[in-house]
Chains A and B, each alone.
Chain A
Amino acid sequence: MPPRVRAPQDIFEQKKTDMTPKTEAELAEMIAAANGPLRIKGGGTRPIGRTTGEELRTSSLSGISLYEPGALTIVAGAGTPLSDIEKTLAKENQRLAFEPMDHRPLLGTTGEPTLGGMAAANVSGPRRIAVGACRDFMLGVRRVDGAGTIIKNGGRVMKNVTGYDLVKLMTGAYGTLGVLTEVSLKVLPDVETMGTVMLHGLPDDRAIAALSTALGSPFEATGAAHFPKSKFGEPLTMIRVEGFEASVTYRAQKLRDLLNGYGDAEIAVGATEGPGSAEGWKWVRDAAAFADQPGDVWRVSVKPSEAAAIAARMSANAVQYDWGGGLIWALADAGHDLRGAIGPFDGHATLIRGIADVPVFQPEPPALATLTKGLRAKFDPRGILNPGIMT
């Protein structure tokens, strides 16, 4: 995208309260001087959680400051568009291996997702099951806390146990413990090709058993999803393998043999269209099937072997499974208390889109809630950073 040229009158109209800091130091001053709640905005593509306050934009804290392909490391400002990061990595045949989801189709948002927004929401995708989540690739963060103090943690090297790991604590904190200004990430080589092993017509519990078998094999599945009702009407179960072509073909065939008891598997290697292609996996990643459907959308993390039973208790209108069953996306009637319908379970449910009059995030058990309340009080004593967003 070309840089936006600002018309002279635009500058003239710029109010003293414009909250788009150009440097970390400026951000620190703004937060220290703030006398009310601040709503932190990266690209504005992931409006998850409910909060209020004056908009504070990180868009000017942008730019890649370091990229060392041989060291698998990239460092950039929190406001850097994710597309810039991905383009830069692609030039060196590398990628963000945790496959961050693009929330725009599902949430009907526009704009450019940012690095900071991705980190603040710990956004991952189907490959999370194999390589880890966004938090597992975070090497370092700089942030400004609720008192306006600049704090760094971690760094730019892959192994670092120097002091407490606040990097993971900041990842997925939705800005409530500090506004991220800079993020260091571990990246991985991109792959030569991918293959998808597809099973048709399985009921949920059988499909998840098949996915568990695949994930519990030596063949390194990097995606494991199930659609009870696919685009084509019938249930579709998908397992992805990636790597060099000969290896992908070999492992796809091994998986087909291994899953023989679940029906005749179809294999697509290097497909450019259809469910077994990169587009198909993007569809899984973005929960795209629910994008144009009315209703509330829930994201539920569970123990995979309990997934089918939990999904059956949800009173949802449609579900799809990722992470070998460990992640359930559910589409429910607007306002439906899906968490209440499930009852107690090992896991957590987040209302990603919708109007249900319930906490957006899973309430924590009392002992843990005491700790997280204490942590928030330490890093945002005035309660001004995205207040209430994680409730």
Chain B
Amino acid sequence: MEMPAPNASVLSRKDQIVARLKEVLPANSVISDESQTRAYECDALTAYKCPPLCAILPANTDEVSAALKVCHEMGVPVVPRGSGTSLAGGALPTADCVILGVAKMNGVIETNYADRYIKVQSGRTNLSVTGAVEAEGFFYAPDPSSQLACAIAGNIAMNSGGAHCLKYGVTTNNLMGVTMVMMDGTIVDVGGAHLDAAGLDVLGVICGSEGQLGVVTEATLRILHKPEGARPVLMGYDSAETAGQVVSDIIKAGILPVAIEYMDEMLIGVCEDFSGAGYPECEALLIVEVEGSEAEIDDQLARITNIAAKHNPVELREAQSPDEAARIWAGRKAAFSAIGKISDYMCLDGTIPVSSLPYVLKRIGEMSKHYGLGVGNVFHAGDGNMHPLILYDANKPGDLEICEEFGAEVLKLCVEVGGCLTGEHGVGIEKRDLMNVQYDPADLEAQMAIKDVFDPNWLLNAAKVFPLASSEPRRAA
């Protein structure tokens, strides 16, 4: 993956830049020593690394504003960073950039149960947002797999999803307002404790803008009361077609489960070895979860198992105890770590229309043979969000490149069948150069025009999202 050459003028002014930043931030919030900036050299897309010019850790909105003003005046690129869990390289530095980390901004500003929102600083982790309200029975719905570590700032930047968004939506559907600092230091408040925008839905375009429009420092998030209970059912089938049909039939029957997860044969085996969840040996496994009271769960599961049984399942099993339910989920949630134990892998994130599932899986299988690399598939089946995991050997020269080529072919296939490149991880650098597959030049131009309004000098995270050739005239200006 190519990155633009660093700006030599910025590199040569490192000492002045650090000195100016130290004027507006506490000394220990400015990290410029090369032994320490290395900690920020990559995010969870670890194949790419580059230490930044320096890193800053402001503690509040005013400090962010003061620091960005300095960077703006001095023409220094800035890469915002949540917790660094991006799988797409969204927080990958350039050598001439200041990494703006939000880790120190992790406080709760306000909880309001009557109006059902929480206002937090954006460095707070996803899971600790729920942690702040769960004593009152509430939770924050979006639940990316990295929720223990990932920050709300990153969730907003990437519009993160999770396993339960079939029912609860993704970040943008649960975000009510932000305080954002723009590259020139201007602080702007968008939205709040009320619903919908007064005018244009600017909040809607901020969410998912991958840190290219501004740095979100505070967020108002919708919280919900937890359901009375939840229970998964596990079903195994001997073909992807059948499993796909079951998903479609469940949805068409008017049942909206909170999650429908799909795993293929390879992942079933790996996750079973890892978690001992009691997964059957079969080609396709579905985990379907419903919520409500005991009686409501019984009723919904009866409807679901009734549909499932019509398609000759290899296995059909309701969780009989909370422990069994936990183990069923533990296997799925551990999919990435389980596969990480046996191989290096690249996780893709394309979304497809659910009806294309069997065809897409078949094609991925053919590609796997062609490229000589193994692949496993986990899939948010209710909403078509695939996660093919391509296995490669990082120590074998050329393997990463083959893996990337394979990945690109899979993503092109997703677009070809009517889907998209990324459902919840974001574009970052990983899918940047494939944007032309999904969008025409005019479509990309319209998106870049948005950035022109928010960040006219293209200093914020500028080497991401758009193909370098498309953004070059703006970045060079």
Contacts and interface: CB of A to CB of B under 8 A. Distances in A.
Interface string B326-357: 00000000000000000000000001111100
Contacts of A246: 295-296, 299
B446 A216 contact: no
Contact of B200 (A160, A172, A305): A172
A72 B165 CA distance: 14
B114 A169 contact: no
Given A188-B256, A303-B192, A347-B194, A161 B442 contact: no
B201 A173 contact: yes
B116 interface: yes
Nearest to A376: B200
B450 A164 contact: yes
A390 interface: yes
Contact of B195 (A128, A168, A173, A216): A128
Nearest to A143: B446
A218 B228 contact: yes
Interface stretch (B2-10, B393-401, B413-421): B413-421
A259 interface: no
Contacts of B115: 212, 303-305, 326
Interface residues of B, number: 93
A376 B199 CA distance: 12
B61 interface: no
Nearest to B352: A157
Nearest to A254: B293
A364 interface: yes
Given A135-B201, A250-B293, A374 B453 contact: yes
Given A161-B424, A172-B201, A348-B194, A247 B449 contact: no
Interface of A: 68-73, 92-93, 122, 124, 128-129, 132-133, 135-136, 145, 149-153, 155-169, 171-173, 176-177, 188-192, 209, 212, 215-218, 244, 246-247, 250, 301-305, 323, 326-327, 346-348, 350, 361-362, 364-365, 367-368, 371-372, 374-376, 378-379, 390
A168 B172 contact: yes
Given A70-B355, A162-B431, A212-B115, A250 B296 contact: yes
Contact of A169 (B205, B249, B385): B205
Interface in B159-173: 159, 161, 165-166, 169-170, 172-173
Nearest to B214: A371
A162 B427 contact: yes
B70 interface: no
A99 to B, nearest CB: 14
A122 B198 CA distance: 11
B209 interface: yes
Nearest to A134: B196
A152 B447 CA distance: 10
Contacts of B440: 152
Contacts of A375: 200, 202, 450, 453
Contacts of B353: 68, 71, 73, 156-157
A70 B252 contact: yes
A158 B252 contact: no
28 contacts: A71-B384, A124-B196, A133-B195, A153-B446, A153-B447, A155-B418, A155-B438, A159-B351, A159-B423, A162-B431, A169-B200, A171-B201, A172-B196, A176-B200, A188-B256, A189-B251, A189-B253, A209-B114, A212-B115, A216-B138, A247-B296, A301-B194, A305-B112, A348-B194, A371-B453, A374-B453, A375-B450, A379-B446
Contacts of A149: 442, 445-446
A70 B248 contact: yes
A96 B401 CA distance: 45
Contacts of B196: 122, 124, 133, 135, 172, 301, 348
Interface in B161-187: 161, 165-166, 169-170, 172-173, 186-187
Contacts of B450: 164, 166, 169, 375, 378
Given A160-B422, A244-B299, 17 more contacts: A68-B355, A132-B173, A136-B172, A152-B440, A158-B385, A161-B424, A161-B427, A164-B205, A166-B205, A166-B450, A169-B200, A171-B201, A173-B201, A303-B192, A347-B194, A365-B189, A372-B202
Given A367-B187, A374-B453, A165 B208 contact: yes
Given A246-B295, A367-B188, A192 B170 contact: no
A152 to B, nearest CB: 5
Contacts of B420: 155, 157, 160, 162
Contacts of A374: 453
B421 A71 contact: no
B179 to A, nearest CB: 11
A69 B172 CA distance: 24
A247 B254 contact: no
Contacts of B431: 162
Nearest to B447: A164
Given A132-B173, A166-B446, A161 B208 contact: yes
Contacts of B75: none
B55 interface: no
Contact of B419 (A152, A155, A161, A191): A155
A151 B194 contact: no
Given A301-B195, A327-B195, A177 B252 contact: no
Given A216-B116, A303-B193, A93 B254 contact: yes
Contacts of B198: 301, 348, 350, 361-362, 364
A157 B205 contact: no
Contacts of B169: 132, 136
A347 to B, nearest CB: 4
Nearest to B292: A247
B107 interface: no
B209 A164 contact: yes
Interface in B235-291: 247-249, 251-256
B380 interface: yes
Contacts of A73: 353
A72 B167 CA distance: 12
